[in-house]
Amino acid sequence: MGIENFPEQLRAAIQQGFLAREFETGLNARLGFRAVADREIFPNAIGETLTKTRKSLKAPVVEPLLPSGNTNFDNGLSPSGWSVEQYTLSINQYGDTIDLNMVTTGVGIASQFLANAQTNGFQAMQSLDRLARNALFAGVPGGVGGYLGGNTRVTATATAKTTTIAVDDIRGFQFVIVSGLVRPVNASPGMTVTVGSGVYTLIAATADQSNVSTAPGGISGQLQFSTGVSVADATTGNAVVAATAPLVLRPNGKRSTADLRHADGDTLGIQHVLAGVASLRRNNVPMINGAYNCYLDDLQLLSLFRDADFKYLYRGAYGSEEYRSGQIIELLGVRFVPTTEAPQQASLGGGPIHRALLLGQGALVEGDCACIGHTDIPDAERALIEMVDRVAMVTREPLDRLKQIIAQSWYWIGGFALPTDVTADVSIIPTATNAYLKRGVVIESLGTDAAGFGL
């Protein structure tokens, strides 16, 4: 572009890469949920939805071939294929801008120029990190739900045996996977769901017209079953769990979020994290650079430091930088990542709810549009575009009537998806669980402050 169209005091910053460096400093300010995503480049346009298919493995062969059958051209062998499963990814555009008025900024224009770039970079990082977080916890439209899906509770006690119950969140109950395809739940084949202590077949899930869910991003609604649910099961507070739901761990074996109580000591401990690790390993989930990532907020991290088992395991490391700064790098195959982006939930009677998320490789897919940063305008006439971590930073010369206002913007075109692992069943991995989403575990707990009081 014509660098001469910018003020003299800004040209050095642009030519020497200071602008992109400040933007990148903000963009990479900390490790976030986006870090676990496997990135793919997609050629789709904005607003389109892409359906991706991936194949399964084949079950091991443990029976020998019969010598008598080793004849003809097939040698007694019958062809067997592999299964497929699909996930969808929607491509959308996100971005924002900030103006720099060269006249009102005065002598500080250069520093303000760089400060705007860093602020834009941090905003872009936080925006993409939150999109990734929302996809992990809440799922994506048309999907099987996120890692909180399929785990809810009854919100209204039935007065008699009924086929329809009210629940706090219908995510994870709306769709089933049939022959690798995601389809709305219906009578055929239905979904196996445990309500209270009974097991029923779900045939429909309907959202309320007015959403009153207490879960982060939740959708309140009605679940309809093929047979009547008993009053004992359809009682307010009873857990409702789909057979295909991801694992949600709670202290002391609590079955629903509303059951957590400070009086019972329902705070995060190292044993809950290790139970999550065991589940990931049972499903043969790969690690991320040698460890599983555990995202948690500072109050859960504080509870962890107060846990007796954690103190025992971390004995001898009290003088380490990680312990002194209140952060843990890696322990027992887990990389603890403190974050302020963990979903918060108001108290349901026992105290505010905190959620840690333990993830392995492949839990999230990020789709970046191939056209990010593309333009057909010649370089001499277009705005300055810098690509940083697949995010476009656009700096536009003054085009207003008084030639005073420089526009500094960023945008990203893409989306996030949660691949399922339905085909990784017990025939291939004997210890595999029945969950659609196997590469993450949510740990719900209450928090603890520095004095040991519940928060």
Domain boundary among 214, 242, 270: 242
Residue 62 lies in a domain: no
218 and 342 inside one domain: no
Contact criterion met (CB below 8 Å) for 235 and 162: no
Q: Could you tell me which of 215, 213, 150, 137 has the C-alpha nearest to residue 177?
A: 150
Query: Measured between alpha carbons, how far is 402 from 28 in angstroms, rounded to an integer?
Result: 36
Residues 175 and 233 in one domain: yes
Instruction: Among 201, 222, 242, give the residue marking a domain's end.
Output: 242
Residues 447 and 319 in one domain: yes
From residue 295, alpha-carbon distances to 246, 258, 301 in Å are: 17, 22, 10
| Claim to verify: residue 433 and residue 336 sit in the same structural domain | yes
Task: Name the domain boundary from 242, 266, 292.
Answer: 242
Please indicate, yes or no, whether residues 185 and 154 belong to a single structural domain of this protein: yes
Residues 105 and 138 in one domain: yes
Q: Report the pLDDT averaged over residues 138-167.
A: 91
Tell me the pairing of strands 191-195 and 239-242.
antiparallel
Q: Is 29 within a domain?
A: no
Q: Is the distance from CB of 425 to CB of 87 less than 8 angstroms?
A: no
Q: Quote the pTM value.
A: 0.83
- Tell me: pLDDT of 81 over 80: no
Confidence of residue 323 (pLDDT cuts 50, 70, 90): very low
Residues 296 and 437 in one domain: yes
- Going by DSSP bridges, is the β-strand pair 384-388/49-55 parallel, antiparallel, or unpaired? unpaired
Q: How confident is the model at residue 239 (pLDDT cuts 50, 70, 90)?
A: very high
Band of pLDDT at residue 95, cut at 50, 70 and 90: very high
Three-class SS string for 86-140? Answer: EEEEECEEEEEEEEEEHHHHHHHHHHHHHHHHHHHHHHHHHHHHHHHHHHHHHCC
pLDDT at 326 over 80: no
Copy the structure tokens of residue 396: 């536009």
Rounded mean pLDDT of the chain? 82
pLDDT at res. 96 = 94
Contact 335, 288 (CB under 8 A): yes
Helix and strand element counts for the chain (H, E): 8, 22
Structure confidence at residue 380 (pLDDT): 43
Domain membership flag for residue 52: no
User: Per the domain annotation, does 426 fall within a domain?
Assistant: yes
Is residue 42 in a domain? no
Report the alpha-carbon distance of residue 240 to residue 223 in Å, rounded. Answer: 10
Assigned domain for 80 exists: no
Q: Which residue has the higher pLDDT, 86 or 303?
A: 303
Mean pLDDT of 70-79: 67
Q: Is 372's pLDDT higher than 70?
A: yes
Distance CA 196, CA 229 (A): 10
Mean pLDDT of 169-195: 89
* 3-state class (DSSP) for residue 433: coil
Question: Do 89 and 155 fall within a single domain?
Answer: no
Q: Which of 100-114, 199-213, 300-314, 394-408 has the highest mean pLDDT?
A: 199-213
User: Is residue 41 assigned to a domain?
Assistant: no
Mean pLDDT throughout 317-334? 60
- How does DSSP assign 296-331, residue by residue? E-HHHHHHHHH-HHHHHHTTT-TTSHHHHTT---EE
Domain count, the chain: 3
Mean pLDDT of 254-263: 90
Query: Is there a single domain that holds both residue 296 and residue 401?
Result: no
CA distance 299 to 293: 17
Most confident of 30-44, 139-153, 217-231: 217-231
Question: Nearest to residue 359, comparing CAs of 331, 327, 333?
Answer: 333
Domain interval for residue 223: 149-242
**Quick one: which of 145, 37, 7 has its CA closest to 362?**
37
Segment of 9-23, 170-184, 240-254 carrying the highest mean pLDDT: 240-254
Q: Are residues 350 and 450 in the same domain?
A: yes
Q: Give CA–CA dist 391/414, Å, rounded.
A: 10
The residue ranking higher by pLDDT, 197 or 89, is: 197
Q: What is the CATH number of the domain that holds 165?
A: 2.40.30
**pLDDT at position 91:** 84
Q: What is the mean pLDDT of residues 220-247?
A: 95
Structure confidence at residue 283 (pLDDT):
93
**Is the same domain home to 270 and 324?**
yes
Query: How many Cβ atoms sit within 10 Å of the Cβ of residue 74?
Result: 10
List Cβ<8 Å contacts ≥24 apart for 62-66.
Answer: none
**H/E element holding 166?**
strand 162-167
Distance CA(126)–CA(142), nearest Å, equals: 25
Name residue, tokens 């004995």: 315
Q: Between 424 and 88, whose confidence is greater?
A: 424
The CA distance from 154 to 152, in Å, is 7
Q: How confident is the model at residue 84 (pLDDT cuts 50, 70, 90)?
A: low
Q: Are residues 354 and 285 in the same domain?
A: yes
The string of pLDDT tens digits covering residues 8-67 is: 555 555 555 556 666 666 665 455 788 888 888 877 665 566 666 665 556 667 667 767
pLDDT for residue 217 is more than 90: no
Domain annotation covers residue 221: yes
CB of 431 within 8 A of CB of 282?
yes
